[in-house]
Every structure is written in structure tokens, then in C-alpha cells.
Amino acid sequence: MNEQILATNEQKNINVTQMLEMHSELTDAQKTAMKQVLSDEEYAASIGDDNIVSYSFFGFDDEARINLEETQEHNDDQRKFILTRRQKKLVEAAAVIQDISANDAKTIVYYPPYLSKTTLPLRKTEEMTFKRTNGSIEMSIVAHPDYGLPYGIIARRLLVYLVSYAIKHKTNVIPIISIRDLIKKIGMLVNGRHTFRVYDMLKRLAGSTLFITGNDKEGEEININRCGIIETVSINTEPKLNTGNHVTLDPKFYELSCISASPIDNRVIEQLVAPLEFDLYVFLLARLMSVKKPTRIKWEDFIGQFGSNNKAIKSAKQEIKAAIERVKIIQPKMKVSYDNDIVILKPSVSAIKTRKGKYVTRVKVES
């Protein structure tokens, strides 16, 4: 038995090439996708000459939630690398996404500006004010006391659907066929729990007010005071009385979204079930294209933008690392790495191209 090609539950690192050789359960398409992930030269350079990669590269935490089974074949002990169902879905999606661009697949959707840089709360909180800082940009969200702050993946997917419809149809009034149809459109299963959560999140978004200050990339001052997100929600709970259902975006929020919303790939966000993964994908898609040279960010600053303020640095760092690696499985061209002290962002080729070759889309707002 060759001890160098075995991995135990205690062993946290394994040779990249050996890892590839052991995942015999994957299809050829999946193997190709995984090889593309692992062949990223920038990432390979970051792991050193010993060609060792952490299990977290595959999206697993330090406990190595990875199924390494011992089998006997031809009287030789072998190990099989078996991805979990979650990992297989990411690899399968990555294979498709890499073959067909978002432009060709017509799966480009949009996320509102500033929220892509400063994020919503990850989890439910009793606080009525939420503040995030990204560089010179500072955003505060003030909640309606009866509803609370919007949070989680449903709030983010609702914003994607509402803003994308508004931009594509040049209107801030989004018709809603029914609450069941809206749940399907944001990629959720229709059930009682999701129905309640979608209603709840619409109320939280409608009751929220944004305050944004700072400077844009040209150095011009930004001062957005008391900007709402949703102006009105009119959705009848009776299926037979759904005529005229609609959600109306706040006019100022609609205008900001039309001017500088962030284009993202709907196929990717459908696979990212955790809000932290969603936030990292949206942030990295824009940020990695704008950096001109390797940019180093201290973990404390990075955690301040994405991690929970109530978490210890060690646990928040661990959570963010695992989320980054899951995003990189489905978007392997994103050149982001890290060590114990810093996160490193390197110039990357955007997975989405606009007509002018720019990341930011601009849509004329009808007066």
C-alpha cells in the first residue's frame, strides 16, 4: 500500500493529482470540470511546490466532511474520493456554465448597486439598523420596527428578480401572477414555509430605508439619503383574486438600479443556497475584474464586510474560506486566494460581457 496516496480523516491535505485520480465516481464531464478548477495556475502557485491543496478547496470545512471510503479491488487497498450531493451539483453546473456563456445562454440578471458591495444581513437579527463599509462606501439599512431587517437568501433572490424585471422592462412596477409563481421565479420550492418567508421578506424590504455615503471610483461624492427599496406590495392571498398583483420599487432605488446594477449569472446564483456564497459571488465577479494588480485585504477587513459581527474572527474566517471555495468550484476563473493573514484578489477575466465590454450596465431611465 502506498501511504502517500491515502487520506485519512485526520489528514487535512492531499496531493492535487492524487485527489483527481481517486474521484472515480464522477462522470467524464464532471472530471473535466474539476480538472479545470484544479488547473488554475494562479491557485496552483498559491499552494506551493509540494502541490498540496486543503480539503477546503473543495468546499469542505476543517472537519473534512468528505467521504473517503476504503475498498478492496484486485487485492489492493484503495481509496475512493466521493463528492457529496452538494458538491456534485456544483461540479455538474460548472461543466455547463463553462461551455456556454451567460450572454449566449441569456441568463444575465441584475443585483442592485451598493448592496453588491456592502451586503444585507446574513441571518435574522433583532437589530433595527445594519451598517456595512466597503472602502469609502458606507451603507446603513434602517428597518421598520414592525417588520425588521431583510436577511438571508430569499431577500437576495427577491431583489434579483425584481431589479432584473425592472431593468429589462424599463418599469418600476413588477406584475406578480401569484405568490406561488413568484416563489418559483426566485428558484424556491413552493410550500407553506417558503410562502410565509417570501411574504415576510417582502414586508421587510418594503419597510427598509437605505443611507449611502462615500465616494465613487471617479472620486465623486455619494450621498443617498432615505432611499427606500420597495414602495408598495399588492399581492392578494386568494388565488382567485390575483388580478392586479404587483410590487412597485421605490423610484430612487429603481433609478439607481438602472444606472449601475451589477450583472450576474442566474445559473450560478441558483446553485448558491447560502447568502454568504451569494454575496461573495456578486462581490468577486465585480471586484476581480476591476483590480489591476494583486490586491491584499486583511482578514479583519474582509470579515467586516461579509462575516457576522457577532462571530469570533477564527470561526468567521473558516466560514468565509469554505464559501469562497464553493464559489470557485462553479466559477473557477475567479483568482482569489488567501493565507492566515490576508485575502488576495488578482485580475480575472469576467464571466459576463456587456455590449461595451464594461462590467456595469447602464439603462436609460424614462422620465
DSSP 8-state assignment for residue 56: G
What digits encode the pLDDT tens for the residues 26-73? 556 555 555 554 444 333 434 444 444 444 444 443 333 333 333 334
pLDDT for position 183: 93
Q: Which pLDDT score, from 0 to 100, does residue 343 have?
A: 93
- Note whether 296 and 344 are within 8 A (CB): yes
318-329 confidence digits (pLDDT tens): 889 888 888 888
What are the domain boundaries of the chain?
3-101, 103-272
What is the chain's mean pLDDT, rounded? 76
At 167-184, the pLDDT tens digits run 999 999 999 988 999 999
What pLDDT does 119 receive?
86
State the virtual CA torsion across 192, 196, 198, 204 in degrees, nearest 10.
-170
Burial class (CB in 10 A: 0-12, 13-18, 19+), 144: middle
- Tell me the C-alpha distance between 106 and 329, whole Å: 22
E strands, 229-283, are 230-234, 246-249, 262-265
**What pLDDT digit, counting tens, does each position of 221-275 carry?**
888 889 999 999 988 766 555 567 999 999 999 999 999 898 999 999 998 888 9
pLDDT tens string 100-117: 888 888 999 999 988 877
Q: Is the dihedral of CA 174, 176, 180, 181 positive or negative?
A: negative
- pLDDT of 296 > 80? The answer is yes
Q: What is the pLDDT of residue 34?
A: 52
Average pLDDT over residues 142-166: 96
Measure Cα distances from 260 to 35, 92, 182, 216, 317 in Å. 35, 32, 25, 11, 30
Count of residues making up the chain: 367
Please give the Cα distance from 273 to 86 (Å, whole number). Answer: 10
Residue 2: pLDDT over 60:
no
Q: Cα–Cα distances in Å, from 68 out to 14, 19, 61, 321?
A: 12, 11, 15, 22
Task: Output the CA torsion sign for 327, 329, 331, 334.
Answer: positive
Residues 38 and 32 sit within 8 Å (Cβ to Cβ): no
Which pLDDT does position 206 carry in this prediction?
96
Residue 78 pLDDT exceeds 70: no
pTM: 0.74
pLDDT of 50 reads 44
Q: Which residues pair with 213 in a beta bridge?
A: 138, 223
pLDDT in tens, 44-55: 434 444 444 444
